[in-house]
Amino acid sequence: MEYSKLYVLRIRQLCKEHNYSINRLAMISGIKQSTLDNIVRGLSKNPRVKTLHKIALAFNMTLAEFLDFEELNEYSFDDEIPD
């Protein structure tokens, strides 16, 4: 899986667990709907830390907790194809 898709996976998993739509997440986090849509659709492949932090807070998590999940922890940059 591509690195950029890992954030999308995490956001979708947490939305499902909290019964949030992307629209609701946008309202709770204070992030523009279009920004979240771009992240979830893969158009924004490198979201800012500030954005990820706001997403984490919307789920009552620290940024560290948000980033601590199996798929990201097991990711290997060695498997990436160079640009």
Neighbours of 47 (CB within 10 A): 19
Q: Is the pLDDT of residue 50 over 90?
A: yes
Instruction: Read off the amino acid at residue 17.
Output: E
Percent of the chain surpassing pLDDT 70: 94
Is the pLDDT at 83 greater than 60, yes or no? no
Return the amino acid letter for 58: A
Tokens describing residue 60: 């009552």
Question: DSSP secondary-structure letter at 82?
Answer: P
pLDDT tens string 32-42: 999 999 999 99
Q: How many C-alpha atoms does 64 have within 13 Å on its Cβ side? A: 0
Dihedral, CA atoms, 30, 23, 74, 66, nearest 10 degrees? 30
